[in-house]
Amino acid sequence: MFNRCWFIAVCLAAFVQCQDIFIVANGTATTSTCATRTSSPSNDNSYSQWEYKHTTTVRYVTPLAYQTPRSTYAAAYSEVSTLLPANISTTTWGSWLPGQTAVSANDTKNPYGDAAWQQLWVNANLTNYTTIGLYSTTLAPHPVPTNELIAPPPNYFGPEDCYELPDDFIYGASAAAGQIEGAIGLEGRSPSILERFITNGTGDNSNYVANENYFLYKQDIARMAAAGMKWYSFSISWSRILPFAKANTPVNKQAIDHYNDVIDTILEFGMQPIVTIQHFDSPYVFVDEQYPDASYQSRASNPGTIIPPMAIQNKTGIWRFNGGFSHPEWLESYVYYSKIVLTQYADRVPVWITINSPFNWGNTPTGLTNSIKGHAEAYRFYKDELKGTGRMGIKIGIAFPVPKDPLDQTHVDAAQRYRDLYMGVLADPIMLGKQYPTAYTDTIQNVTLLTDAELARINGTADFFGINEYSAQITSPPAGGVAACVADPSNPLWPFCTVQETVSSTTGWALGYYAGNSAMSAPQLAIRTCLNYLWSRYKLPIVISEFGFPEVGEAAKGLAAQRFDQSRSEYYMTYLSEMLKAMYEDGVQVIGALAWAYCDNWEFGTWTTPFGMQTLNRTTQQRTYKKSFFDYVNFFESRMPSSASGLESGSGPLGPPVGGNNTGGGPAGDGP
């Protein structure tokens, strides 16, 4: 028997929940756009004179307008530093280089001295790692050659909507410190959990050079601005700002200076910064103190999947991973850290994100509670004490679950259960002031409920819902039912107790174009259905804070093929088209979209299946725009109000764009 089954997600903003309507149809799919059809080709034997008429457009993209009026969003550090503890010291440390194995400094009596700092690296015990790349000092930016700014050939098929976006719509590209900076042991940074737990499968020999963005950020920003990217979403490294991580410990001057310059450079190039305070790279000291025997994980069997060290899995017992969030001092330390960065940088940063997707790395009950409270305290400090006027939110990641059979209530319930456990557990308290979902408290024993006073303080501490949304999943209950699974923590599906699929066992079809990490392109479900759900439940403006596409095997292709990343372009065009439908046809308020990522980067040890809109040559650190970069920017630019013609372009910090060819040579000439 052969059925063609189509999921059609019909979401009406008025509905509390989306309704997935399951339609079974037989026969040929017809196009709805042709009122009448032309019946025969016009081969009338006229044999006109042939001439070559092909038109080629070489379109140069428009760089960002520079010197846009600067706004301020809080008082400068000199005025608000009084909000911090009076005795904070700001100092510098040295560097920890590959090959070092022992403490060499002799200031052992100073709890925050060089010897204590080196001991943090000894404890992390990174053997045979690489972190020194081509650079040891910040590279000055240089103009992007005009021949790099030629737009790719226009798409044959594309969106045909006629929507105009608000001119303050946030469109940008994103990255995170741990995945791009490199320089992991340089200029005072202490280890994070990423270097300690993620290796490339060999158990050692990990390469942490990444994109050397710690030294190349000026050029990265110049390249984004030159190709018209408006916003840059990056994260600050906690263990760089505070090598000892904890409350009241000294601040790293070199780190403060570094991020000051990152933000100033972004503004100088006419872009706007979005800053994430903590993105996965928890300081290692928290985990080290709780689980000193935590072993390296292996990625060899399943690159792209984060497998927590067994020692940690065992000790937390309940959820998968504790990336330091459940340490008894984590909460006050996070609050202290966020106050440091907010007082330093809030004057210039319009949009803040407190924590990136804490569920992924802090999903013990204590870790979740701490991240919710840490987020809320950062928000309260920003709004109430610092009087910040920008916007602050949190990023929550999920691959949106939809019922396998929308006509079966147990499937609908399973999808909601997954949403509650993965997303509601964070979003319900923060955005609704509601207690943890019952799916969570009924499954996990001994969850400490949030008190009414805590909920009142947590409630409403987000100006927007940041959703990291790459893909969707088909959800159904386990064979024995949800209840039996919930009662049996040894069930491999526990605690979610739902079955997640990306290939439908009803139709045999994958949800969409197959990407790496099982993150297939599923625009209607991942975006339109998801956005409708978020809007109807949380009633907050939404930022699609990450979305992106990892093409399998892309890194193995030649440069020209890597650059012509049509699958990624189509991913962005379709996802953004579904975003527009949610906005203009369903009434969902979406205020921004941030592509992951501005460049190929260190995806937790993996480089073969990258997400970037630029390639990265890891030998030369050369960046090269891919097609998707231009298509992405053009999607927004072409839908901006026509008043945008007032842009002054082409003369910025580096002067007008220069002609010339990027030879791909070393940085002394053309640079990365």
Name the minimum Å distance from CB 120 to ligand NAG: 13
Contact criterion met (CB below 8 Å) for 458 and 450: yes
End-to-end CA distance of the chain: 56
Nearer to ligand NAG, 108 or 389 (CB): 108
User: Which stretch, 197-205, 226-234, 468-476, 592-600, contacts ligand NAG (CB under 6 A)?
Assistant: 197-205
Separation CA 665–CA 646 (nearest Å)? 36
Helix, coil or strand: residue 148: helix
Contact criterion met (CB below 8 Å) for 597 and 548: yes
The interface mask with ligand NAG, positions 436-455, x = CB under 6 A, is ---------xx---------
Nearer to ligand NAG, 240 or 299 (CB): 299
The position carrying tokens 């400490």 is 448
Q: What is the dihedral of CA 332, 338, 341, 342, to 10 degrees?
A: -120
Tell me which residue has its CB nearest to ligand NAG.
433
Give the closest residue to 344 by CA, choosing from 255, 271, 281, 270: 255
User: Contacting ligand NAG (CB under 6 A), which of 67, 90, 101, 128?
Assistant: 128
Q: How many residues bind ligand NAG (CB under 6 A)?
A: 37
Nearer to ligand NAG, 5 or 140 (CB): 5
User: Which stretch, 122-130, 268-276, 351-359, 521-529, contacts ligand NAG (CB under 6 A)?
Assistant: 122-130
Contacts of ligand NAG in 88-107 (CB under 6 A) = 89, 106
Using the rule CB under 6 A, is 300 a contact of ligand NAG? yes
User: Which stretch, 200-208, 366-374, 416-424, 515-523, contacts ligand NAG (CB under 6 A)?
Assistant: 200-208
User: Contacting ligand NAG (CB under 6 A), which of 161, 204, 257, 385?
Assistant: 204
Name the minimum Å distance from CB 122 to ligand NAG: 8
Using the rule CB under 6 A, is 164 a contact of ligand NAG? no
Using the rule CB under 6 A, is 488 a contact of ligand NAG? no
Give the closest residue to 504 by CA, choosing from 3, 17, 11, 1: 3
Q: Indicate left, alpha or beta for 552 from its phi (over 0: left) and psi (-120 to 50: alpha).
A: beta
The alpha carbon dihedral of 165, 167, 169, 170 has a sign of: positive
Give the closest residue to 247 by CA, choosing from 331, 371, 345, 366: 331
Name the minimum Å distance from CB 273 to ligand NAG: 28
Contact criterion met (CB below 8 Å) for 93 and 252: yes
Using the rule CB under 6 A, is 490 a contact of ligand NAG? no
User: Which stretch, 123-131, 474-482, 540-548, 580-588, contacts ligand NAG (CB under 6 A)?
Assistant: 123-131
User: Contacting ligand NAG (CB under 6 A), which of 94, 113, 158, 201?
Assistant: 201
Helix, coil or strand: residue 418: helix
Using the rule CB under 6 A, is 85 a contact of ligand NAG? yes
Using the rule CB under 6 A, is 125 a contact of ligand NAG? yes
Instruction: Read off the tokens for 620.
Output: 């030369």
Helix, coil or strand: residue 488: coil
Name the minimum Å distance from CB 431 to ligand NAG: 9
Name the minimum Å distance from CB 478 to ligand NAG: 19
Q: Indicate left, alpha or beta for 229 from its phi (over 0: left) and psi (-120 to 50: alpha).
A: beta
Name the minimum Å distance from CB 459 to ligand NAG: 4
- Neighbouring C-beta atoms of residue 248, cutoff 10 Å: 14
Name the minimum Å distance from CB 350 to ligand NAG: 23
Separation CA 547–CA 397 (nearest Å)? 10
Instruction: Read off the tokens for 613.
Output: 């809109």
Question: At 163, phi and psi to the nearest 5?
Answer: -90, 145
Using the rule CB under 6 A, is 660 a contact of ligand NAG? yes
Instruction: Read off the tokens for 265.
Output: 């450079």
Give the closest residue to 340 by CA, choosing from 460, 194, 239, 426: 239
CA atoms within 13 A on the CB side of 525: 28
Q: Indicate left, alpha or beta for 76 from its phi (over 0: left) and psi (-120 to 50: alpha).
A: beta
Instruction: Read off the tokens for 29.
Output: 């799919």
User: Contacting ligand NAG (CB under 6 A), which of 5, 83, 140, 310?
Assistant: 310
User: Which stretch, 150-158, 339-347, 524-532, 615-623, contacts ligand NAG (CB under 6 A)?
Assistant: 615-623
Name the minimum Å distance from CB 366 to ligand NAG: 11
Nearer to ligand NAG, 191 or 250 (CB): 250
Separation CA 79–CA 658 (nearest Å)? 41
Name the minimum Å distance from CB 265 to ligand NAG: 26
User: Which stretch, 8-16, 47-55, 63-71, 194-202, contacts ligand NAG (CB under 6 A)?
Assistant: 194-202
Using the rule CB under 6 A, is 492 a contact of ligand NAG? no
Using the rule CB under 6 A, is 205 a contact of ligand NAG? yes
Helix, strand and coil in the chain, % to nearest 5: 35, 15, 55
User: Contacting ligand NAG (CB under 6 A), which of 26, 36, 49, 55?
Assistant: 26
Cis bond before residue 597 (omega within 30° of 0) = yes
Nearer to ligand NAG, 39 or 490 (CB): 490
Residues that bind ligand NAG (CB under 6 A): 1, 3, 24, 26, 85, 87, 89, 106, 125, 127-128, 200-202, 204-205, 207, 248, 250, 300, 310, 313-314, 433-434, 445-446, 459-460, 559, 617, 619-620, 659-661, 664
